[in-house]
Structure 1
Amino acid sequence: MQFALPPRKNPPLPYAHSPRISFQRKKQLKAVALLAFAVLSVLFLLSHVFASATSSPATGPAGTSSVVIVTVVDREALSDSYIRKIVSNREDYAKRHGYTNFIANTTDYTSYLEHAPRSWSIVTGMRHAMASHPHSTYFFHLDPHALIMNPSKSLHSHILEKSELESRMLKDVSVVPPDSVVKTFSHLKASDIDLIISRDKEDLNPGSFVLRQGDFASFFLDLWFDPLFRAYNFAKAEVHALDHIVQWHPTVLARMAVVPQRTLNAYSRDSTGAAIDGTYKEGDLVLRFFGCDLDAKRSCEGEMEPFYNLWKKKVKSD
């Protein structure tokens, strides 16, 4: 008769860990791994956002211009002769400095605007230009009721070079004049900037501004064109929406340089609302007939004609 033998117990191996200790060790290692993954993910996202915001587009094909001049015209409201003069003014400037001229029509964007004013086509026009010229770096939006009056001065030497931008940036000033509590950052450098704009007497004014292509530009234009802002019925539509965005979104403020009005957006003497020293003087890059299309007593074509003739003389003499 056979008897069952008692179960054999294997002696513990030297330095063996108990199952309980091993389980706890695994939990600790898992927690450390998850924490490390989370930290690396956050660092990756932050580095991607801030690095890509200031990055320039990849080098494009030979002949790609660094600057695109964007003008959105309302062909239903402006005469053909007026539009030809505007286009001629931009094309001459673009040819001189190796830039590209992009003319858009507000009617091309009516399906996107829904019931919003046509002035919102500033945003759609800029997005259209960036999509059409993905390898260009800077996009210079210029209102149709404006002329480039100093054709020999390139945008680079005037404002885009770091030293020039540094010297013109207004720091620690109210974003929205005259005394908004939100002010431009005092620590910003030219290398931080993706949006260059000026103020008039009452608002940031997007009639003339420069935007650098990149992730920030896409974010900024999408934010600005948010349906909530277009439907909010701001008194000045896209202008007041921009004032709101910059004051409530430090992400935008941290990438924006405010420059003196005459740097990019000098007003004619017939225009109201110019900032102090914001009225056009000989030698300024841009002359803008601000509000000429909104005042029945004014004529955009009549105001522009003598300055257009003056510009033609300059072009012929160069």
Structure 2
Amino acid sequence: MWNWLTIQTSSWPQTSEIYDKISNGVGNFYPGSGHDSQHTSPESSRVSAPASAESKKKIVMVTGSAGNSRMLGMPRIKEMVYENRITYAQKHGLNFMWANMTSYNLPDGAPVYWNKIPILRDAFDRFPEAEWIWWLDIDIIIMNISLHIHDHVLSPEGMARNILLDYPINGAEGGRTGYRTSPGYRHEDINFVLSLDHWGMNVGNFLMRRSEWSDWLLDMWLEPLYISQNWVFPENDGWSHLWQHHQIVRNPTACMNQHSMNAYPDYNALGSHWEAGDHVVHFAGCGGDPICEGAWAKHWSMREDVEVPAFVKDKLREGVAEIEAFQGGAK
């Protein structure tokens, strides 16, 4: 495990220098933009060297919640999520950070959903050895706990198996946007991994690599003009806008099939439904609907049966579990 203390980030280079590095590096590796054609297919990415066991551990799981006593109409959902996340992290040697979203205050009364972005920055700062941050919304159950996220979607084989190439991107209400995912990619240049549903992209479950591109993206994602929009899915729509209108965002992004990392329960018509073997189930948009509690309980009972570490049980019983333990400073 790594040092949990917050560190100070180094000062950034000049903006033009960062942009040049991004646009001249990861920004130019798709057909038509001067990259080597031998890297245009997912099959070619299989030749990459396998990640070391240490590299697999350099992933930090991050969840945020807003301090409410009940979620999805259930009084003990946070305790269940804590058990789920820590059990997974312990099994695979990962770190886990649960942030109190209300403590990462953005100016001008921004919807709390936007606080996801400063939390990501904080996670990179607190875990300086982390190569990837894995964000999971609180309304997600990891169903297949034996499946390592690296092997599943980050490894060359996992990415090749699950990525959607030259695939149409839907918009709100399932309408066509005219955008498609890239027809090719180089595994080593991917910095952002998420999945698609029937309404487009969903940032409830995604992975971001530590890179200059990611520093730049987190800055752009918090554009005040985006925050001021009356979007239905605030930070999600902000991300979609960036992806659709900026090639520099599209290029290093891998869009995966929904079953690989963001399947929905069977009442949700906005995407593919969870099937046995899928990694997670995401109760996106469930809120306090009466159907949520029963659906959550159903899937909770169907998750992989693994032994919960004794210390997790003890902390939950004693009321000292690190739920929302990470606090942000004034922003």
Q: 1:125 to 1:176 in 2, by over 3 A?
A: farther
Distance 2:230 2:126 in 1: 30
Residue 181 (str. 1) matches residue 174 (str. 2): no
CA contact (8 A) 2:26 2:252 kept: no
Q: How does 1:246-257 map to 2 (within 5 A)?
A: 246-257=243-254
Match of 2:67, SS?
A: coil
Distance 1:241 1:176, change over 3 A: farther
1:92 maps to 2:87: yes
Q: CA deviation at 1:108?
A: 1.0
Higher helix share: 1
Q: Which amino acid aligns with 1:271?
A: N
Which structure is richer in relative contact order (CA contacts within 8 A, separation 6 or more)? 2
Q: Normalized against structure 2, the TM-score is what? A: 0.72
Report deviation, 1:113.
Answer: 5.1
Residues 44, 314 of structure 1: CA spacing in aligned structure 2 closer, same or farther, 3 A cutoff?
A: closer
- Residue 308 of structure 1 corresponds to which residue in structure 2? 300
Moved more, 176-185 or 162-171: 176-185
With over 3 angstroms needed to count, the CA separation of the structure-2 counterparts of 1:235 and 1:254, relative to structure 1, is same
CA deviations on 1:235-276 (whole Å, 9 max, x unpaired) are: 2211211111101010010010111011110001122311xx
* TM-aligned CA deviation for residue 166 of structure 1: 2.1
- 1:73 matched to 2:65? The reply is yes
User: Match for 1:259 among 256, 261, 275?
Assistant: 256
The residue matched to 1:280 in structure 2 has which SS?
coil
Q: Which AA in structure 2 matches 1:105?
A: N
Determine the C-alpha separation between the residues in 2 that align with 1:160 and 1:44: 25
Code of the residue aligned with 1:315 in structure 2: it is V
Per-residue deviation, 1:51: 5.2
Q: Which moved more, 1:183-192 or 1:145-154?
A: 183-192
Distance 2:146 2:90 in 1: 11
- Is 2:295 the counterpart of 1:298? no
* Aligned residue among 181, 199, 209 for 2:206: 209
Partner of 2:97: 102
> Which residue number in structure 2 is paired with residue 239 of structure 1?
236
Q: Is the 8 A contact 1:270 1:289 kept in 2?
A: no
1:19 is aligned to none
Deviation at 1:176, TM superposition (A): 3.6
Helix, strand or coil at the partner of 2:160: helix
Per the alignment, residue 28 of structure 1 pairs with none
Counterpart check, 1:119 vs 2:113: yes
Give the secondary structure class of the aligned counterpart of 2:150: helix
Q: Which whole-Å CA distance do the structure 1 matches of 2:107 and 2:266 have between them?
A: 32
**Structure 1 unaligned blocks of 5 or more:** 1-41, 55-61
Amino acid at match of 2:306: V
Q: How far 1:317 moved relative to its partner? A: 10
The one-letter code sitting in structure 2 at the alignment partner of 1:85 is M
Q: Which amino acid aligns with 1:314?
A: D
Match in the other structure for 1:219:
216
Aligned alpha-carbon RMSD (Å) = 2.8
State the AA in 2 paired with 1:119. Y
Q: Percent identity?
A: 24
Distance apart, 1:72 and its partner CA: 0.6
TM-score by length of 1: 0.75
After TM superposition, the structure 1 = structure 2 runs for residues 131-146 of structure 1, keeping only pairs within 5 Å, are 131-146=125-140
| CA shift in 2, pair 1:81/1:297, >3 Å | closer
Given that 1:203 and 1:240 are in contact with CA atoms closer than 8 Å, whether structure 2 keeps it comes out as: no
**Alpha-carbon distance in structure 1 between the residues aligned to 2:90 and 2:230:** 40
**1:66, 1:259 → 2: CA distance?**
21
Secondary structure of 2:81's counterpart equals helix
Q: Which moves more between the two structures, 112-121 or 156-165?
A: 112-121
Residue identity in the other structure for 2:129: H
Moved segments of 4+, more than 3 Å: 42-54, 62-65, 175-178, 295-299
Q: Deviations over 1:74-125 (max 9, x none)?
A: 222536621111011001111111111110111112x215322212222222
Question: 1: CA distance between counterparts of 2:145 and 2:301?
Answer: 14
Aligned residues: 263
Seen in structure 2, the aligned counterparts of structure 1 residues 267 and 113 have a Cα distance that, compared at 3 Å, is: farther
User: Matches of 2:131 and 2:178 in 1, distance apart?
Assistant: 32
Q: Distance in 1 between matches of 2:245 and 2:206?
A: 20
Against the structure 1 CA distance between its residues 223 and 267, is the aligned structure 2 distance closer, same or farther, given a 3 Å change threshold? same
Whether the aligned pair in 1 keeps the contact of 2:65 and 2:99 (CA below 8 Å) is yes
Higher Rg of the two aligned structures = 1
